[in-house]
Amino acid sequence: MNNPDILKKLELELVSPDTRRNPRRLSELLSDEFEEYGSSGRVFTKSDVLSGLPETGAPEYELFGFSFLELSPECMLVKYRSTVSGRQALRSSIWIFGSGQWQLLHHQSTVIPE
């Protein structure tokens, strides 16, 4: 499996309801330096994400239109679109490879106006 295939699989895993309720797995996937710039304008850290996990009712995500850019052998930019609760957004993620695994360093979501 090449890096784009692996990273697409990880992006899909991150939005799955099972992963979104699993602090251990999320902690493995998110870098300690993780930051997310949400479509709301809020900034979330790894600890914010882990402390705000839903117990039930995580929204369904549809991800599509993936593109990948290698920034270095250990750093990839992943761009795609999503639909969540009828709202579309442009998304970008920066993944870093270290200690034998990929971890999400940065994520940004920008809502597409209707």
List the CATH number of the domain containing 40.
3.10.450.50
92 or 114: which carries more pLDDT confidence? 92
CA–CA gap between residue 14 and residue 82 (Å, rounded)? 13
Distances (CA, A) of 93 to 11, 38, 56, 107: 9, 12, 25, 4
Residue 52, pLDDT score: 84
In the chain, how many domains are there? 1
Mean pLDDT of 34-41: 92
Which of the 8 DSSP states describes residue 8? H
- Per-residue pLDDT tens for 48-103? 999 987 766 678 899 999 999 999 999 999 999 999 988 999 999 999 999 999 99
Q: Which residues span the domain enclosing 104?
A: 3-111
Question: Which parts of 21-94 fold into alpha helices (H)?
Answer: 23-29, 46-51
Mean pLDDT of 6-29: 94
